[in-house]
Chains A and B, each alone.
Chain A
């Protein structure tokens, strides 16, 4: 279990766009490389084209002319899904109500002509892996949401697919279950070491599961990068605000400082600009005693959240600043405080275009 083996194909999506028959342009031409055994997450708000891109890789949707999908260098663009050896977990799970759990998991093997005994062994293996012991003979309508999700996963994995495609597999579950299954799913993907594309609109899921994240917006790719790159160096305002909480400050620049209503704030990289759109994550702002010089503001509200507290500070910047402070700091509304921000944690974004 500990030695990680690599499975699945390396994928290349080349110049794939999608315009539906009714004229909807769901996906602008996009090119993506996915390494063998990598988990790539497609992240974006509803309607941004995540499912469309996933379905093009799966072979459920044809890309516009000129687009190509390659598995290990082989062009499979013209092949339908049943010839691509993909494992797919649908948002609705698409389990077969007329079959038992075991028959659902074994269906792909049956199609491939795997002998009964061998099939049973593989199904048993997956039942253990996905924690479904004792449910083999149940019908699908006798399962809970979380169990269905696991059957869908087991069924997709059973065929040893070239790539595992997951379309918002946890969205149909309640928050607590979602969190737990996210962990299980993560360790399963690591154990299997299989190439996977995971679609979600939940940034926490994307952060935890993705080797790399593709942030999408209105049918186009906004940024591709590791979770850290996406979080700390977002390419633009959209990515910054979609992934985690962000203070977006517009302010003039004076050499190496942002000129803010509450004082001057040093920054690391400014370039030859004199007006900036800057991003500061709430947890990178420190709260200190109001200093003689430097950035100050007035506490507007304090929301205690157990492990931390969220403090809104007015007067420091052109907008109220959101600060996530340790739960031990004691401040109250109306108090004047100082704010300390590492110059390095301020990220300048391109001006809106």
Chain B
């Protein structure tokens, strides 16, 4: 009996917390498709705001997608071999490098942006190009890729696999392609989704680094909140949700499948 009451209380509490988070999101999405938010939903449902957002901000949306994919490409090409080298090498130096790579996790995005500006702000064309924001995103997301790949390495005993392939005559690069990458696939996938999601939603660092010509979706979003009708800003949020939620669901799903194994 007592267990039951505790269970019901826990359930209520959980639902309450979920509602606390979900209601604003739902309201915001609803606002994005109502004709006039102040008159409520009875004013009618429309896609005109979504269309308007698309017209005004299509550039930032495309930019966000391209930067997310670019960030993914760099973290894959650099992060996986780095994780491999760090894991197989081991030792004190490897641990130091790992700490340095992971450092951005603990540093506020603003501080990273400031450091980048101080260091490279003088290189005008780099400063003004997309590459500048890409660089920021790579620094910010790299630890997530390296960490999730190293986590999967730890579960598949990658050192033995590597030595096994080496004993059969495979050179390091060959072992990496034939054995390491295929067996680390779940970790690589999880890392990739995380990198893309984080890059799409990143605001602090991007806001500091952006120029009027290099704006990403979240920066545009802040912009629209400040200067547009509430409905437009909400429609913008709606588009962001549509992009990000499938990624989050996929991440959850992969995580669960990983736990089952």
Contact = CB atoms under 8 A, between A and B. Distances in A.
Contacts, number: 60
A82 B179 contact: no
A92 B169 contact: no
A82 B169 contact: yes
B169 A112 contact: yes
B182 interface: yes
Given A21-B91, A97-B156, A159 B168 contact: yes
Contact of B165 (A85, A96, A97): A96
B182 A85 contact: no
Interface string B152-182: 0000110011011111111100100011001
B160 A94 contact: yes
A92 B160 contact: yes
Nearest to B168: A108
Interface string B181-200: 01100000000000000000
Interface in A54-84: 58, 60, 80-83
A293 interface: no
Nearest to B167: A88
Contacts of B179: 96, 98
Given A90-B160, A94-B161, A98-B183, A107 B167 contact: no
A165 to B, nearest CB: 8
B166 A111 contact: no
B163 A107 contact: no
A260 B13 CA distance: 81
Contact of B168 (A97, A98, A111): A111
Nearest to A158: B168
Interface residues of B, number: 19
Contacts of B91: 21
Given A21-B91, A82-B171, A111-B174, A96 B166 contact: no
Contacts of A82: 166-171
A225 to B, nearest CB: 29
A155 interface: yes
Contacts of B160: 90, 92, 94
B183 to A, nearest CB: 5
Nearest to A165: B167
A94 B163 contact: yes
A58 B169 CA distance: 12
B165 A107 contact: yes
Nearest to A85: B169
A95 B218 CA distance: 46
Instruction: Determine chain B's interface SS by DSSP, over half rule.
Output: helix
A58 B168 contact: no
B182 A155 contact: no
A338 interface: no
A88 B164 contact: yes
Given A96-B179, A98-B182, A98-B183, A111 B163 contact: no
Contacts of A92: 157, 160
Contacts of B163: 60, 81, 88, 90, 94
Nearest to B163: A60
Nearest to A55: B163
A156 interface: yes
Most chain B C-beta atoms within 10 Å of own C-beta, residue among A83, A85, A90, A156: A90
Contact of A107 (B156, B168, B171, B183): B168
Q: Which among B165, B174, B182 has the highest number of chain A CB atoms within 10 Å?
A: B165
A105 to B, nearest CB: 10
A86 B166 CA distance: 10
B164 to A, nearest CB: 3
B183 A97 contact: yes
Nearest to A109: B168
A324 B80 CA distance: 60
A80 B91 CA distance: 19
Nearest to B182: A98
Interface string B83-100: 000000001000000000
Nearest to B157: A92
Contacts of B161: 94, 96
A17 interface: no
A87 interface: yes
B183 A155 contact: no
B78 to A, nearest CB: 23
A18 to B, nearest CB: 16
Contacts of B169: 82-83, 85, 108, 111-112, 159
Given A21-B91, A111-B174, A96 B164 contact: yes
29 contacts: A60-B163, A81-B167, A82-B166, A82-B168, A82-B169, A82-B170, A85-B169, A88-B163, A90-B164, A92-B160, A93-B164, A94-B163, A94-B164, A95-B164, A96-B164, A96-B165, A96-B178, A96-B179, A97-B183, A98-B179, A98-B182, A98-B183, A107-B165, A107-B178, A108-B168, A108-B169, A156-B167, A156-B168, A159-B168
Interface of B: 91, 156-157, 160-161, 163-171, 174, 178-179, 182-183
Given A81-B166, A111-B170, 20 more contacts: A21-B91, A58-B167, A82-B169, A83-B169, A87-B167, A88-B163, A90-B160, A90-B163, A90-B164, A92-B160, A94-B163, A94-B164, A95-B164, A96-B161, A107-B170, A108-B169, A111-B168, A111-B169, A112-B169, A159-B168
